[in-house]
Amino acid sequence: MSYQAHLHCDPQYKHMSASLAAAATATLTYEQAVAGEVTIVLTDNRQIQDLNRRFAGRDLPTDVLSFADGSRDNKTGNTYFGDVVISVPMAKVQAEEAGHSLEVELSLLTVHGVLHLLGYDHAHLEDHEQMWIAQSSILGNLGIKITLPRERV
């Protein structure tokens, strides 16, 4: 399948575009998704809090939000899966707490967000476990070994 990941961010984070695109396309490949595209947006706490309030009814910043689309391009037949919006300041804090780099945390959040675009949810324990298994496998395929929150003591 053919996949594309677009990155919209402040120029200071452009150097991460290849690794985040790789995380997004690895997720689509793992899930054997139809050909398509995804957009990754790196932002700040203020903007993600505004989006979280408007679309999820929670007036606080969060690490990642996913906005599924699912529309198809009439010319190519490709699916536009949607947008993954990530708070860089939140990711920095989480990376420090977890003891890994910001780039690794952003890759994790990208995988997590794309899985949400593909229909994963973690509201129930069974769904949570399936999502975390998928995340671990995808990150492993990318050569990233981290301890996910559910694995921490």
48 — pLDDT class (breaks 50, 70, 90):
very high
Would you place residue 79 in the very low, low, confident or very high pLDDT band (cuts 50, 70, 90)?
very high
Q: Are 145 and 139 in contact (CB under 8 A)?
A: yes
Does 124 score more than 80 pLDDT? no
pTM for this predicted structure: 0.92
**Percentage with pLDDT > 70 across the chain:** 95
pLDDT digits (tens, 9 = 90+) for 19-34: 999 999 999 999 999 9
Rounded Cα distance between 79 and 68, Å, is 11
What one-letter code names the amino acid at 17?
S
pLDDT value at 5 more than 80: yes
CATH superfamily of domain region 3-151: Metalloproteases ("zincins"), catalytic domain (3.40.390.30)
pLDDT band at residue 148 using 50, 70 and 90 as cut-offs: low
Q: Hey, where are the domains in the chain?
A: 3-151
Q: What is the pLDDT of residue 152?
A: 39
| C-alpha span between 113 and 65 (Å, rounded) | 7
What does the buried/exposed string (b/e) look like for 20-58 if buried means 16 or more CB atoms within 10 Å of the residue's CB?
A: bbbbbbbbbebbebeebbbbbbbbebeebbebbeeeeee
